[in-house]
Amino acid sequence: MDKISLKELAFPIIKAIDSFNYLLKSHQRRTAVISYHIGKELGLPCGDIAELVVAAAMHDIGALSVQERDTLIKEDVENPSPHCLMGYKMLSMFDIFSGIAKIIRHHHIRYEDAGKYNEEIRFQSHIIHLADRVDIYLSPDQFILNQKARVTASILEKKGTVFHPDVCDAFERVSRADIFWIEINNLTMEQLFSRMNFLSSIELNREQIDQFALTISRIIDFRSRFTAGHAYTVGRLAQFIGQVLGLDDDMCEKLLIAGYFHDIGKIGIDTAYIEKCGQLTDEEYNMVKLHCYYSGQILSELNSSEWFRDVVKWSQHHHERLTGNGYPFAIKGEEIDTGTKIIAFSDMISALMEDRPYRKRMSIDTAFDIIDRYAAENIDPDMIKIIDRYKAEIETIVDQCKQRAESCYDESVEYA
Ligand SMILES: [Fe+2]
Ligand SMILES: [Fe+2]
Ligand SMILES: [Fe+2]
């Protein structure tokens, strides 16, 4: 596998959070800009600044599954608060992000309470705490430079109690210049990352690729009990089907990852449609169809790695059909490659074998029957004939995945 930068790993996650909630999007970007300026002012080493900025850019990721999105952008929440722990949990399974996860875990800790914790509190957590509050104190209805004095005073009056004194001092110095405030409103995430040109590239091993993809898949899987584990199941099935079709190891690994990724674009779709009891209206269906396009957008950064290119393609093509009546590209025939067909099939079989708000899960025979009757021509009848011999194995995989997903989901809900 070729090398990949921290930016390429972070952007899919940042974009996934962004497409979920536009309020969170601007809040996280702004917190990252403020944190960056303070980190530079403090003279932190390059690696610490990189972790700080990535952590700030996804600091409220735990709020995707925890019902406190609205409160956390208003008042300072107690620590340890559910969204901090959840964010920590979501990211810590990917070892490249374990430092970032630790920073996020404590991003609402008051300075005077830091001693009460048995674990190490990373200095960057204190920076994000202050940066987060600067953004909350700023009103979107007033020109930012007119708020400089008021916001600075509100922060500095909590020096040594709520906020770390060194972080307060650095904030006081760096915020004297108007550019600090102007950039909160204007600097894009792209521009911010391009300032960190010291970011080195990382070569991920297989285990790390798996952890990374699972981290992303959990963002979407855990939004609804009905879809918990869907991406995981599609990945495992696609990998198995690749094996029975005789594809090489590397292709099978890519299929696993594409399965984990394929529905990430659903993060941008209203859960009400995904959990709707009953048939979607044409208008609702048109909205849901957007998810493939979003998947491609969210994962687009990964296209700079040769290895990930197929994975991104299969993810965004998983609703294309041989006959050309798929979406969103409406490609057809030979334009649809084997990987795309495998993901499309795995997606279908796994969806039919899952409970939905409006129906129970189907047996493997019924699911195959439906695909044979209504969908095989659209995917690849010859391929499906081969897969048909492995029904028992497929059923076992679906059951294993379902059990695993349910215990992970319950554990995460309990955690929250
Ligand atoms: Fe937060
Ligand atoms: Fe926040
Ligand atoms: Fe799917």
Mean pLDDT of 346-370: 91
Give the pLDDT confidence of 399-410 residue by residue, as tens digits: 999 888 777 766
Contact 235, 318 (CB under 8 A): no
**Which pLDDT belongs to residue 79?**
52
Contact 138, 183 (CB under 8 A): no
**Which pLDDT belongs to residue 66?**
52
Per-residue pLDDT band for 175 (boundaries 50, 70, 90) equals very high
Measured in angstroms, how far is the CA atom of residue 77 from the centroid of ligand 2?
10
Per-residue pLDDT band for 185 (boundaries 50, 70, 90) equals very high
Cis peptide before 165 (omega within 30 of 0): no
Cα separation, 28 vs 346, whole angstroms? 35
130-139, 198-207, 358-367: range with lowest mean pLDDT: 198-207
The domain made up of 206-415 has a fold known as: Hypothetical protein af1432 (1.10.3210)
Mean pLDDT of 369-377: 90
Count of alpha carbons within 13 angstroms of residue 100, beta-carbon side: 28
Q: Please give the angle made by the CA atoms of 279, 283 and 286, to the nearest 5 degrees.
A: 95
Measured in angstroms, how far is the CA atom of residue 226 from the centroid of ligand 3?
12
| CATH code that applies to domain 4-202 | 1.10.3210.10
**Which pLDDT belongs to residue 295?**
93
Of residues 153 and 355, the one with the higher pLDDT is 153
Measured in angstroms, how far is the CA atom of residue 60 from the centroid of ligand 2?
5
Task: Give the residue range(s) of CATH 1.10.3210.10 domains in the chain.
Answer: 4-202, 206-415
Of residues 60 and 149, the one with the higher pLDDT is 149
Measured in angstroms, how far is the CA atom of residue 343 from the centroid of ligand 3?
9
Of residues 309 and 3, the one with the higher pLDDT is 309
Per-residue pLDDT band for 56 (boundaries 50, 70, 90) equals very high
Measured in angstroms, how far is the CA atom of residue 142 from the centroid of ligand 1?
23
Of residues 380 and 20, the one with the higher pLDDT is 380
Measured in angstroms, how far is the CA atom of residue 152 from the centroid of ligand 3?
47
**Which pLDDT belongs to residue 242?**
98
Cα separation, 409 vs 415, whole angstroms? 10
